[in-house]
Structure 1
Amino acid sequence: MNCLSINLRGVRSSRKSDWIKGLKTSYGIHFLAIQETKLQASETFRFNQFWGRAEFKVAVVDSQGRSGGLACLWSPAVFRCVDTYYNRHFIIVSGFLVQSGCKINLVNVYAPNDAISRRGVWMEIMGFRNSLQGLWVMMGDFNDVRDESERMNSEFVEANARAFNDFIIAAGLVEYNMGGGNFTYISDNGKKLSKLDRFLVCLGFRENWPNASVVALAREVSDHRPIVLSTVQSDFGHIPFRFFNSWFEFPGFLEFVLQNCGAFQFAGPGDFALAIKFWWLKDKIKS
């Protein structure tokens, strides 16, 4: 199961929905967690613009004024929801993986800015953590860091980090190493950086998927970078077609390849971008 989490600072933008839909397709996303939707009447909003034509289910918490708001979208062919629990600062979608029948609780978190309120949210989540069976995956904008190295040019409060770490330990959660960069939040002026967004999983989840990966992607239309948790390993299979050097003897072929290589654009890790570029160029050549 592949999960994508992003603080979008509002969802009413075609550029944002096109960006997220592209990431959803590129990374094979089965569960999408959006924070800060800024939607007060989410029942009238068309979330399919983020997901595309494939079937999906959705759970939302409306914002209060222009502050907050959460949305979860998922593929019912991969994850079957049984119960949903709503809070202003988090949504818990509880169900099971269709293929394996594994019970799992997926939590979309948008923690408040106020430190005391955040600690209250940790306590509320702990209540569910202690009462619901199954594996746990928590994702989102936790608005806190775990140590001083996760902030740059912004204030680090040791007491807040200690409270956050105490919650993580008490809940029996761990993290995968995050690739793609050390920070997920970048201020509008580009000077302040923090790791506010993350995935926290229970030990049972990591035992089931020890080779899962977490990657922070490039930001485009938000001050937060999207983060992806992937348990489905990329497999590009056999080479789909053969390329012969003699093709370069065809008039205009080299110019065609160079022109298309120069036009390719993709936001993501370099190794994945290269694989996508080869796939894209292959289609151009075949057509």
Structure 2
Amino acid sequence: MSFMINQYWGRAEYKVAVVDSQGRSGGLACLWCPAVLRCVDIFHNRNFIIVSGFLVQSGCRMNLVNVYAPIDAVSRRVVWSEILGFRNLMQGLWVMMGDFNDVRDASEHMNSEFVAANAEAFNQFILSAGLVEYNMGGGNFTYISDNGRKLSKLDRFLVCLGFRERWPNASVIALAREVSDHRPIVLSTTQSEFGHIPFRFFNSWFEYSGFLDYVLQKCGEFNFSGPEDLALAIKLRWLKNIIKTWLKVEKDSREGIYGGKKKWLEYIENMAEERMLEEDELAERMECRNYVAEFDRIKQLDLRQKSRAKWAIDGDENSGFFHLVINSNISTNRLNGLMIDGEWLTNPLSIKESLFEFFLHQFSEPMSDRPDMICPGIATISDSEAAMLENPSLWRKLKQLCGSVKGIGLLGQMGSISSSLKSVGRAPR
């Protein structure tokens, strides 16, 4: 294939099955993680790939079908018949996904011809295969024509009844359309809502004019009466919200200026192709270039920090690399589920409770009633002597004495320290 598949997957291990394209269309690729799916059979032809295997965690048989249906209606019906033959022969759960090039009813298309016979044949195939469909979020249509007028829902996930019974809370989301005329769609069986996303502080914020002064000013305005630990927690939460509000306004303003500078820079450089630029225009061009370069540099700083790649050379245009590292970190750190008492759980509430119980057991006091330590005759110092030892002036003197300890004079200096302690209080034993 003419591109590197690992750019879409990251650094984790994966397996792949492909059907080469013909010209600019028709290619198919299925990627899976061998730690999640143990593949045993692969079937493919021009219009679909079937990857059949077992889920490693549960041992459940799973059949995944990647479909790219032909445009011709007669050819599509042949494909439905071929897939239905595999469906009737093979056991296990079924998930069919891809571009089916058909709609199920008139509401799934706009400004294009609806052929009832094709929709009826498609629905009959779905019924015969015992498949159902999750409601799709994120959009009503997945395909848009080049002129932007014709829209259709051609891409979808179809699952068997057993799959939906096993994962009733699964969701299908249509993502943003970037380059392709089709929206990517995602089927997720994991409830990944584990609460608020942790607040991350980026070093680039210190380069925003007035940021540090603003934070220090707000810290000085905070007032709370209560336990110190509670005051610290509330102050950090309050400060986090203030910083996020300030940054949103600042970033929106900077991005607006950035877009304007880029357009103006392009306009000036287009003029340079037609005539000599004036001095003020050259100065404006330099100002725009400097602002755009500085904005891009700060964005690179955030990417480097997110990826934790400290060795990158400043000034390199490595956005793609950093995004790959970031995505790999996210994939590695994601908690998809836990094996608890021999059962694989993915519910966030169950996972939180299990983790809480684990750490509660690790850090709880095993003995509720420990014996007291009774040691009569131990020399102690008075409260006034203890307060004197905590006096900052004493510790400054100790620091000066300890700083002068060198080489063979160690014992003599320790004697001086002991004498100094005796002059302000009782020497510790």
Relative to the length of structure 1, the TM-score reads: 0.72
- Asked if 1:232 corresponds to 2:190, the answer is yes
Quick one: which amino acid aligns to residue 245 of structure 1? W
- Out of 85, 100, 122, the position equivalent to 2:43 is 85
- Identify the structure with the greater strand proportion: 1
Distance (whole Å) between structure 1 residues aligned to residue 115 and residue 241 of structure 2:
60
Cα shift readout 1:41-81 (whole Å, capped 9, x = no counterpart): x2x64211111111111100011233311001111111111
> 1:260, CA displacement in angstroms?
4.6
Distance (whole Å) between structure 2 residues aligned to residue 92 and residue 143 of structure 1:
18
- Asked if 1:116 corresponds to 2:109, the answer is no
Work out the number of aligned pairs and report it: 223
> 1:186, CA displacement in angstroms?
0.9
> 1:96, CA displacement in angstroms?
1.2
- Asked if 1:68 corresponds to 2:23, the answer is no
Name 1:245's counterpart in structure 2.
Answer: 238
> Aligned pair in 2 of structure 1 residues 256, 109: CA closer, same or farther (>3 Å)?
same
Name 2:296's counterpart in structure 1.
Answer: none
Name 2:419's counterpart in structure 1.
Answer: none
Structure-to-structure mapping, 1:19-38, within 5 angstroms: none
> 1:258, CA displacement in angstroms?
3.5
Name 2:170's counterpart in structure 1.
Answer: 212
- Asked if 1:200 corresponds to 2:191, the answer is no
Quick one: which amino acid aligns to residue 137 of structure 1? V
Quick one: which amino acid aligns to residue 250 of structure 2? Q
Most deviating of 155-164 and 180-189: 180-189
- Out of 113, 131, 136, the position equivalent to 2:94 is 136
- Asked if 1:189 corresponds to 2:180, the answer is no
Distance (whole Å) between structure 2 residues aligned to residue 216 and residue 184 of structure 1:
7
> 1:256, CA displacement in angstroms?
4.0
Quick one: which amino acid aligns to residue 178 of structure 2? E
Distance (whole Å) between structure 1 residues aligned to residue 89 and residue 39 of structure 2:
17
Quick one: which amino acid aligns to residue 249 of structure 2? L
- Asked if 1:152 corresponds to 2:152, the answer is no
Distance (whole Å) between structure 2 residues aligned to residue 146 and residue 263 of structure 1:
46
- Asked if 1:52 corresponds to 2:10, the answer is yes
Distance (whole Å) between structure 2 residues aligned to residue 141 and residue 149 of structure 1:
18
- Identify the structure with the greater helix proportion: 2
> 1:87, CA displacement in angstroms?
0.9
Quick one: which amino acid aligns to residue 46 of structure 1? M
SS of equivalent to 2:54: strand
Distance (whole Å) between structure 2 residues aligned to residue 164 and residue 263 of structure 1:
50
Name 1:172's counterpart in structure 2.
Answer: 130
Most deviating of 44-53 and 89-98: 44-53
> Aligned pair in 2 of structure 1 residues 209, 244: CA closer, same or farther (>3 Å)?
closer
> Aligned pair in 2 of structure 1 residues 235, 115: CA closer, same or farther (>3 Å)?
same
Distance (whole Å) between structure 1 residues aligned to residue 27 and residue 241 of structure 2:
54
Of structures 1 and 2, the one with the larger relative CO (CA 8 A, separation 6+) is 1
> Aligned pair in 2 of structure 1 residues 248, 147: CA closer, same or farther (>3 Å)?
closer
> Aligned pair in 2 of structure 1 residues 235, 263: CA closer, same or farther (>3 Å)?
farther
SS of equivalent to 1:53: coil
SS of equivalent to 2:83: helix
Name 1:39's counterpart in structure 2.
Answer: none
Quick one: which amino acid aligns to residue 30 of structure 2? C
Which consecutive segments of 4 or more residues in structure 1 shift more than 6 A? 261-264
> Aligned pair in 2 of structure 1 residues 117, 246: CA closer, same or farther (>3 Å)?
closer
Cα shift readout 1:210-249 (whole Å, capped 9, x = no counterpart): 1111111110110000111010111334674664335688
SS of equivalent to 2:141: coil
Distance (whole Å) between structure 1 residues aligned to residue 32 and residue 45 of structure 2:
19
Name 1:99's counterpart in structure 2.
Answer: 57
Q: Which runs of 5 or more residues in structure 1 are unaligned?
A: 1-41, 265-279
SS of equivalent to 1:71: strand
Name 1:258's counterpart in structure 2.
Answer: 249
Identity of aligned residues (%): 75
SS of equivalent to 2:64: strand
Distance (whole Å) between structure 1 residues aligned to residue 239 and residue 136 of structure 2:
43
Q: Which runs of 5 or more residues in structure 2 are unaligned?
A: 200-232, 256-301, 307-429
Higher gyration radius (CA): 2
